[in-house]
Amino acid sequence: MSDEKKVEAPKPPPGPPAPPPPKNPGFITLTIDGKEVVAKPGTNMIEAAKSVGSEIPYYCYHPRLSIAANCRMCMVESSAAPPGKLVPACQTGITEGAVIKTDTDKVRAQQKMVMEFLLLNHPVDCSICDQAGECKLQDYYMKYDFKSSRLEGGKILKNKRKKLNELIVIDQERCVMCTRCVRFMDEVAKAPQLGVFGRGSHEVVDVSPAYGKLESEYAGNIVDICPVGALLNTDFRFRARAWFLSAAPSICTGCSKGCNIYADFMGQDVYRYRPRENDAINKSWMSDTGRLSYKTINKHRVLRSLVGRGDATKEVAKADALTAAVKLLQDHANKVAFMASPVASNEDLLAGFAFARDVLKTNAVYVSGRPDGVADDFLRTADKNPNRKGLENIAKAFGFTVKSFKDLTAAMGKTIKAVYAIGAEVPEDETVFAGRAADLAAFIISATNENAITLAADVVFAASTHIEDEGSFTQEAGITQRFRRAFPPKGDSQPHWKWAVELSKALGLETRAASSREIFKALSGTVPELASFEWDKQAPMNQKRPGIGTLPAGADGRPPGWREQG
């Protein structure tokens, strides 16, 4: 036995060769439509293709929602897939060295089949549909299908105008079952109240029977992310065609969160707010309360300056209003209290504080503003004023003592006999405050909207809203954001800052500023929180020229018809 040779175990067969090291360590390098792409691991094919200008069509995919991969519109060819198989680009991650083709005969045939399937029972409602001009079905039909239906017989009929709540209706015939709305309510709004019911061609999206109607402050976002005309906002429905609207990048003033928005307008009327993407603040969403806050821009505006109280109130020209205000301020020189609303922009407040310091000779500010409201753990804050942080920063830098609204009301008619105010928003019932103002010997206010307070003032300057001027707000976390002008001020109105500048000039103090930009440049240097803010560079959409900068509502950085992200 000792002389016998030991038998060696057979060597295992060689395995597949080790994959080559990544061309760019830490990243994945692949080829899409003949172009080299370097992307982060985990990036899906849709996002990778965008980086080299290749458009992969989709309905169900949304970058802020989970992947459903149920519309099958985004199928592409990939060298990493089994031979002869197409893969969904939304669901399939990229791999090192993969070769992806998005525009081959096989891919185009798939896209045509999907479009034909989606349009099989779809009603051709384009002429009366609010989504016309912003609809992926329209755009993709022209690009990927463009042929008549082969359906024989009638289409399947579903509910045409079912109310999901007071703000949203659904047209179930138009729905392509992308389930974006269902996923949004579940994953973002944290209110899983929508579901898919039925089978096959009779499937519908509807509210769960356990709820009866949508009960979420963020339900309006499902209208934004719906790629077709299935979900409609009753506030906007049948009011304007998308191609007649223009869009201006702005900020929602509904609370101190500072959600980024587009204000869609026609002429000098705002028709809707849409969320504008900002990862640091609101991502792609906004609350329904903020969505409807545009209405104050259109209604009950102070369009001409007013002089006189109550029944003696009369409309006057700008010059006459200034003359009346100057006389009152001279009669009560050095005895006028200064009240400021945190609804006003930084530029309005900079000019207002400078006027109060240099002309009124006061170093105290009484803060008014809207009363606190409901907050939640997502986007709504209890403070319903968009610029309280900005007001506090400016007051501190200008050496002002910040006093509460209660301090003002307690002293009105006693130690305080005259008030100059920026903004007519107060944290108590307007009629109650108007009654307090009756005890004042002089009450001068610049206001955007008519209310009981403007009736109680001796002089009311017609002020424009933030939609009618350029400027900035500082939201609750201290982030300063620019907004752009949509259209010129309505009527004889002008910004709060301009009234302050003109009052200063009329009272002998020369202030050289002809725009909100010049106000910011001249006065923000003493405010540490604003001194480093690059006013010009922070203009949304990289529109650095001053003045009115508007865009077609369907061409604000999105491909035509895509409004899901802003």
How many residues appear in the chain?
566
Q: What's the pLDDT score for residue 85?
A: 93
What's the confidence (pLDDT) of residue 562? 41
In angstroms, rounded to a whole number, what is the distance separating the alpha carbons of residues 330 and 438? 20
**Per-residue tokens: 28:** 């994945």
Answering whether pTM is above 0.85, one says yes
- Distances 128 to 229, 246, 561 between C-alpha atoms, Å: 10, 20, 16
Beta bridge partners of 461: 446
Q: Please tell me whether residue 507 adopts helix, strand or coil conformation.
A: coil
- Looking at residue 452, its amino acid is A
Q: Tell me the two tokens of residue 524.
A: 């923000």
State both tokens at 492.
């004889």
Euclidean distance between CA atoms 161 and 172, whole angstroms = 8
At position 355, the amino acid (one-letter code) is F
Please name the helix (run of DSSP H) or strand (run of DSSP E) that holds residue 218, with its range, or none: none
**Residue (of 510, 506, 509) closest to 327 by Cα position:** 506
Helices assigned H by DSSP within 214-272: 221-225
**Alpha-carbon separation of residue 176 from 38, 278, 526, 560 (angstroms):** 33, 28, 56, 19
Q: How far apart are CA 453 and CA 143, in angstroms?
A: 56
What pLDDT sits at residue 383? Answer: 97
The number of C-alpha atoms within 13 Å of 415 and in the hemisphere containing its C-beta is 6
What pLDDT, on the 0 to 100 scale, is given for residue 4?
Answer: 60
Report pLDDT for 243. 86
Q: Are 89 and 76 in contact (CB under 8 A)?
A: yes
Note the pLDDT of residue 486. 92
Per-residue tens of pLDDT for the chain, all 566 residues:
455 666 777 878 887 777 778 788 889 999 999 999 999 999 999 999 999 999 999 999 999 999 999 999 999 999 988 888 999 999 999 999 999 999 999 999 999 999 999 999 999 889 999 999 889 999 899 888 888 888 888 888 999 999 999 999 999 999 999 999 999 999 999 999 999 999 988 999 999 998 989 999 999 999 999 999 999 999 999 999 888 888 899 999 999 999 999 999 999 999 999 999 999 999 999 999 999 999 999 999 999 999 999 888 999 999 999 999 999 999 998 899 999 999 999 999 999 999 999 999 999 999 999 999 999 999 999 999 999 999 999 999 999 999 999 999 999 988 999 999 999 999 999 999 999 998 899 999 999 999 999 999 999 999 999 999 999 999 999 999 999 999 999 999 999 999 999 999 999 888 788 899 999 999 999 999 999 999 998 887 644 444 444 555 543 334 333 444 44
User: Angle at CA 218, nearest 5°, toward 213 and 387?
Assistant: 145
The H or E element that residue 181 is part of is helix 180-187
In the chain, % helix, strand, coil (3-state, to 5) comes to 25, 20, 55
* 3-class secondary structure per residue, 72-139: CCCEEEECCCCCCCEEECCCCECCCCCEEECCCHHHHHHHHHHHHHHCCCCCCCCCCCCCCCCCHHHH
